[in-house]
Each structure stands twice: as C-alpha cells, then as structure tokens.
Amino acid sequence: MAVNEQMDKLAKEAEKAAENAYAPYSHFRVGAALLCEDGTIITGVNVENRSYGLTICAERNAAASAITQGKSRFTALAISTPDSSAPVGPCGACRQVLSEFMSPDALVRFGRNTTEYIDTTMGDLLPWDSLHDLKKQ
C-alpha cells in the first residue's frame, strides 16, 4: 500500500474513533490511530474528567492500548479533531510520550477531517528530542 493510501486509511480510523470520545465538558472530541510496526492499527479517544488534569488524551490512550497488546513500535499516527475549525496537533505531553515509541521520521497526520489535515513527522513535532539525542551519545 502506498504511503498516502496508508495515511488516508489511518486518518479514517482516527475519524471513526473520534465518534466514541467521551468529551461532555469541552465537547472537543479527539480520535487517534497508531500504525504499529507489524501493520496493526490501534485506536484511542480522549476521555475527559471534570477534573481536567485527569483527562486522557486520545494519542496516549492509543499508545497505552497498543502497549497492553504487546506492541511498542509505531510507524505512523493519525489524529482527528472533528469539532475544531482547523487541524490540531498532539499536545506536548503526547508528543513526549509518543517520541518514546516512534522514530523522528515516523509520519504524523492531524486534521479536523480526512480532507483538511497537515502531514508532518514526529521529528518535526518534537525537534529537540532529548531521548533520541541521548541514544546517539
């Protein structure tokens, strides 16, 4: 499968996942889809709590689900934010967590739907990645 087709499929999975988000406070649903090294796609959604600090982001939810299934190497990520007016990338905490399991050249697509999106890489999202820099030493 071509890279664009693969990212389109991943974005559709993220968009579908966002329908199950639990966002009664912000009304801002997020769906994430991770492509594992073995080709498996694992999805996650944001799960809000009235104590906002306890909210779980879709990206970290997907990562935790994948790791629970024994998958810890991810080659691509798609994020869907259907309630936003523009594409919204992952928060800083998610960027940091995902950098543990994704290489800097791993593909990332984030968008409000499957036609309005931004394509980038994990390295461009987290340009000064101390984890990978320390491995070089």
Q: Which residues are identified as catalytic?
A: 59
Q: Residue 50 carries which DSSP code? A: S
Contacts of 119 (CB under 8 A, 6+ apart): 7, 107, 108, 109
**E-assigned strand segments in 1-114:** 31-36, 41-45, 74-80, 102-111
Listed residue (41, 42, 40, 15) closest to 30, CA to CA: 15
Amino acid at 89: G
